[in-house]
Structure 1
Amino acid sequence: MKLHLARWVVSELPVGWEAGRFGDIVSIIRGVTFPASSKIYERSDDVIACLRTSHIQDKLTWDNIYFIPKHFVRKEEQITLRNDILMSMANSSNLVGKVCINDSDSAACFGAFLAAIRCNEINFKYVYHFLRSADTQAKLRASASQTVNIANISVNELEKLEIPLPPLAEQERIALALDLQLSQTDAIKARITSVSMLLSKFRQSVLASSLSGQLTRTWRRENPLPASSRNDIAKLSLAWGWQDLPDSWDVEIYCQVVQSRLGKMLDKAKNTGISTRYLGNINVRWNSFDLEDLQEIRVSQEELRDLEVKKGDVLICEGGEPGRCAVWSQDDSGIVYQKALHRARTSDRVLPQFLAFSLKNDADNNSLSQLFTGSTIKHLTGSALKNYPLRLPPVSEQIEIIARVEQLFAMVDHLEAKVATAKQRIDALTQSLLAKAFRGELTPQDPNDEPASVLLERIRAQRAAAPKPKRGRKAAKN
């Protein structure tokens, strides 16, 4: 074993292995730059498909592809090839550095937020598995520069990455062994994901059943209630996809049973008073609040009286994910809320948690979106929200519905915790296999393999002898 001082860590390499500088072993190709106005959504002879960060999943996807004029592809190498490794070079901090393999022969270029890693002299599967290992991903993200919302990995930093390089024959053995073993863990992970999806659908079906009256059908037979005097609701039923409602249920418009208002505008130059914590859109999750790192804003005593969040208030997102909401359960919070949130205070005809269930159900089935404004960034304005129709059982039935839904959701929470634990274990197993591979412990070494040092010398010689790329623009070919 030989001791090697890597850029980030001291590591021991098996006999016959070498530590290589990433940029000296692979080719890293920057993506295509073009103005946003050049995107085209129909195929023709003059355009080429353009891959972007959203296509970099566990496998390369081709959903929602757009095209750009071919003249923006200035180098032929910017057309991706089969077995290229595509990396997200600019993304959120938890997604930057994500990689997948192009297993298609379809003609496509890739945008400036991606890079193609081309392995001409070494095994591309070995490199791919190395790049997806937890240790490498952590190093890549640590080297990324950070702006407000985006982390960027520079080609220069990626080139400096150090990769443990076995003999070529051993690279192939390692890649084959990882493909075999990780296919099994991936199959287990897929089954775990399918269970998560089933639990999510079960939650949605519980809410749908509760808002249609099916969940408490037996309860109503045991607890008969007088029929309501609601007006004809045929148009509302059609627009909102309602089935026949129980006779005892009523229908009201939001503004008739809820007092609602937006919060305080964030303006440091104009705001005065006491420094006070506030809830923003990001703090409101579905049915819960994230209260870590609450920001502060100056408010007057009058504003604090008007805008303080009280027990039973429903906080509803105006933007981001419009309609996302949660019920505040604390007393005397001393917390206010900003203008990106609606605060709903319900009348005695509707319980806060029932309103939250209604919003969640209609968000899940997409009927709530008919109230949204905006083509790209969606908003749920106050004027739109006041026209939101609510199916209202008698309060006694609302209490029963809330109890049953929470009981069923508690069961789902328990199952989801078990699923999350199983996923953590399979993820840990995946990373354990990858770590063993790059320590030389997954497959046996063969003393008859050509040492990696000879491979590295050959790569250097080939690169030195290769003609230098010519400057200038080159349009993409068909």
Structure 2
Amino acid sequence: MALTKSVSEIIEGDSSGLLAIHPSWERVPLAEVGCVLNGFPFDSAQFSNSEGIPLVRIRDVVSGETRTFYVGAFDSSYVVRAGDLLVGMDGDFNTARWRSADALLNQRVCKIEIDARFYVPGLLDRVLPAYLGAIHAETSSVTVKHLSSRTIEDIRLPLPPLAEQHRLAEKLDELFTELDAGVAELLAAQKKLAQYRQSLLKAAVEGALTADWRAVHPPQESGEALLARILQERRARWEARQLDKFKAQGKAPPKGWQTKYTEPLSPQTNELPALPQGWTWASLGQLLESLSSGSRDWSPYYDRGSCVFVMAQNVRAWRPDFSFRQFVDPPLGDRDRARSEVKKDDLLVTIVGANTGQVCRIDTELDSHFVCQSVALLRLVQADSSEYVNAVLNSEGHGQLQFREMNYGAGRPHLSFDQLESVRIPLPPFEEQLEIVKQVESALTATKQMESEFVHLCRQAAAQRQNILHSAFTGQLVPQDLADEPASALLARIRAERAEVEAAKKSPGRKKAAA
């Protein structure tokens, strides 16, 4: 992680208008009107899913609620209360007011306490996101972007007269209340659409979606027979690779070399639900030809060339999103190129960070795309099953549920290769897999138009929000009042009080009293 410009340079180079100020205003570093408290690295061994005090993790900032609890001892200074302003310091640098019961402030989340005598908290809520967004845009990263508390403290906030701050906060609340109500309706509709998609996937990977089809299409090969064939092919490909290695080294295969093959673990099925007739349970590892992630040694080659480094932010549910591209230029002979190059029908899984567990399938041929170390590349023995396995891994009741259970209690979310290989997959006959994929794609296509309309309306609302904020920060939303205490005088009061506090800290009398 590296911030490529200073905060002052970011503000000076802004072209959005959201970091602008009216000529009569001043600027003040956030550290002069507030303080930033970093979260504490609580011991993940004492996390719980039901007992103790709630724990705010980075993924909880926007939702305002958490499902993680902590049962150990803690310092009360790390308690977060409803209404406290939080900032996520990894990923998207989100900020929001905490909306739930008292909780603990975990690492990589910070709390901002503002002095309301000098800065109206409601105005800070409207100001801060634009500055964090600008900082995010100027932060380079290889995997996940990181934000420091020092950077937050260095943000030079717009400082209108205090009375004008109150007028601005009240007017913005008035305008955004109506706008937010409309957005809330759109989000509720989107949520219902997402619930429908999850219900669809659940029915698909549990056999309910194709029950009628299955009744009139007896399988030519059962899921159990399919699994046996896959395992046989898996071993055959391993043996072929080993023979190629021996040949490249100019060596004859040593005695007993076939015994080096590691059989993938089968899933424990005694507590798993019954499957439709002809289906069987498999582990993801049994279906994989290879499992790898990106090189850790390519940092000298970042930000150059035409090869694409596939990042965690490119991995989105179902399909990848390449609207952002990180370029990399590894040498042609680098040993990590072959194992990390992405091909059609590969599955990608984010294995580190806030989006751990997101899965997508590559449905087109890609040229010179390589996964980074935060993304696992899964290649199936039977590539034609990749879309069905994609559905299983994206299903809330199957792959996503298992990923959450694996992540539970981790200080920083992550998935190991062993965990990925252990994921349980309900495996139908291949013909039924194709029918499942066909029906799922048909249903999802019907929802895409609605989703596109929702996105369009949300973008319109976001644009309206930006226009309102631009008017506010350039002094056009509410009138200036000559009777207000000038911003320059307010800034002078802020700095005079800070000087007094600093002088008191250095006072010899204070040190003697403390002694």
* Corresponding residue to 2:201 among 207, 228, 240: 207
SS in 2 for 1:341: strand
Match of 1:18 in 2: 25
Moved more, 151-160 or 211-220: 151-160
Q: How far apart are the structure 1 equivalents of 2:421 and 2:443?
A: 32
Q: TM-score, normalised by structure 2?
A: 0.63
Asked if 1:191 corresponds to 2:185, the answer is yes
Q: How far apart are the structure 1 equivalents of 2:135 and 2:284?
A: 51
* Corresponding residue to 1:225 among 208, 218, 224: 218
Asked if 1:341 corresponds to 2:377, the answer is yes
Match of 1:355 in 2: 389
1:4-36 deviation digits (Å, cap 9, x = unpaired): xx972796737xx43142358x53324268665
Counterpart code for 1:430: R
Report if the CA contact (8 A) 1:327-1:352 is conserved: no
Evaluate the alpha carbon distance shift between residue 159 and residue 401 of structure 1 in structure 2; reply closer, same or farther with a 3 A threshold: closer
Counterpart code for 2:192: L
Evaluate the alpha carbon distance shift between residue 23 and residue 93 of structure 1 in structure 2; reply closer, same or farther with a 3 A threshold: same
Structure 2 portions without partners, runs of 5+: 1-9, 225-266, 299-304
Q: How far apart are the structure 1 equivalents of 2:308 and 2:289?
A: 18
Q: How far apart are the structure 2 equivalents of 1:441 and 1:214?
A: 58
Report if the CA contact (8 A) 1:286-1:324 is conserved: yes
Shift of 1:406: 0.7
* Corresponding residue to 1:132 among 112, 117, 128: 128
Evaluate the alpha carbon distance shift between residue 379 and residue 439 of structure 1 in structure 2; reply closer, same or farther with a 3 A threshold: same
Q: How far apart are the structure 1 equivalents of 2:104 and 2:187?
A: 30
Asked if 1:251 corresponds to 2:280, the answer is yes
Evaluate the alpha carbon distance shift between residue 437 and residue 252 of structure 1 in structure 2; reply closer, same or farther with a 3 A threshold: closer
Evaluate the alpha carbon distance shift between residue 40 and residue 469 of structure 1 in structure 2; reply closer, same or farther with a 3 A threshold: farther
Shift of 1:165: 0.8
Pairs within 5 Å for 1:90-109: 91-92=89-90, 94-95=92-93, 98-101=94-97
Say how many residue pairs are matched.
431
Q: How far apart are the structure 1 equivalents of 2:162 and 2:405?
A: 61
Q: How far apart are the structure 2 equivalents of 1:256 and 1:82?
A: 44
SS in 2 for 1:432: helix
Match of 1:262 in 2: 291
Match of 1:378 in 2: 415
Asked if 1:118 corresponds to 2:154, the answer is no
Match of 1:422 in 2: 457
Evaluate the alpha carbon distance shift between residue 118 and residue 468 of structure 1 in structure 2; reply closer, same or farther with a 3 A threshold: farther
Pairs within 5 Å for 1:34-53: none
Shift of 1:368: 4.4
Match of 2:437 in 1: 402
Shift of 1:202: 1.3
Report if the CA contact (8 A) 1:143-1:153 is conserved: no
* Corresponding residue to 2:479 among 423, 434, 444: 444
Report if the CA contact (8 A) 2:142-2:311 is conserved: no
1:157-192 deviation digits (Å, cap 9, x = unpaired): 735614141352x32222112122212222222222
1:267-311 deviation digits (Å, cap 9, x = unpaired): 869xxxxx9969868465544345644656567799999998665
Q: How far apart are the structure 2 equivalents of 1:446 and 1:370?
A: 54
Q: How far apart are the structure 1 equivalents of 2:372 and 2:501?
A: 61
Q: How far apart are the structure 2 equivalents of 1:309 and 1:373?
A: 25
Q: How far apart are the structure 2 equivalents of 1:39 and 1:257?
A: 31
SS in 1 for 2:427: strand
Counterpart code for 1:64: T
Counterpart code for 1:57: V
> Identity across aligned pairs (percent)?
20
Evaluate the alpha carbon distance shift between residue 119 and residue 299 of structure 1 in structure 2; reply closer, same or farther with a 3 A threshold: same
SS in 1 for 2:381: strand
Evaluate the alpha carbon distance shift between residue 354 and residue 204 of structure 1 in structure 2; reply closer, same or farther with a 3 A threshold: same
Match of 1:392 in 2: 428
Evaluate the alpha carbon distance shift between residue 259 and residue 145 of structure 1 in structure 2; reply closer, same or farther with a 3 A threshold: closer
Shift of 1:423: 1.6
Report if the CA contact (8 A) 2:307-2:370 is conserved: yes
Q: How far apart are the structure 2 equivalents of 1:144 and 1:229?
A: 52
Report if the CA contact (8 A) 2:283-2:421 is conserved: no
Say which one has the larger Rg: 1
Evaluate the alpha carbon distance shift between residue 279 and residue 436 of structure 1 in structure 2; reply closer, same or farther with a 3 A threshold: closer
Match of 1:151 in 2: 146
Q: TM-score, normalised by structure 1?
A: 0.67
Asked if 1:288 corresponds to 2:319, the answer is yes
Evaluate the alpha carbon distance shift between residue 163 and residue 309 of structure 1 in structure 2; reply closer, same or farther with a 3 A threshold: closer
Shift of 1:451: 4.0
Structure 1 portions without partners, runs of 5+: 1-5, 270-274, 474-478
Evaluate the alpha carbon distance shift between residue 469 and residue 145 of structure 1 in structure 2; reply closer, same or farther with a 3 A threshold: farther
1:173-221 deviation digits (Å, cap 9, x = unpaired): 2211212221222222222222222222211111222233332344456
Report if the CA contact (8 A) 1:55-1:62 is conserved: yes
Match of 1:3 in 2: none
Asked if 1:163 corresponds to 2:195, the answer is no
Evaluate the alpha carbon distance shift between residue 7 and residue 423 of structure 1 in structure 2; reply closer, same or farther with a 3 A threshold: closer
SS in 2 for 1:116: strand
Q: How far apart are the structure 2 equivalents of 1:338 and 1:454?
A: 52
SS in 2 for 1:381: helix
Q: How far apart are the structure 2 equivalents of 1:326 and 1:403?
A: 16
Report if the CA contact (8 A) 2:284-2:421 is conserved: no
1:110-149 deviation digits (Å, cap 9, x = unpaired): 8686253422423523541452352x33455478797974
* Corresponding residue to 1:239 among 266, 271, 282: 271
Match of 2:302 in 1: none
Match of 2:173 in 1: 179
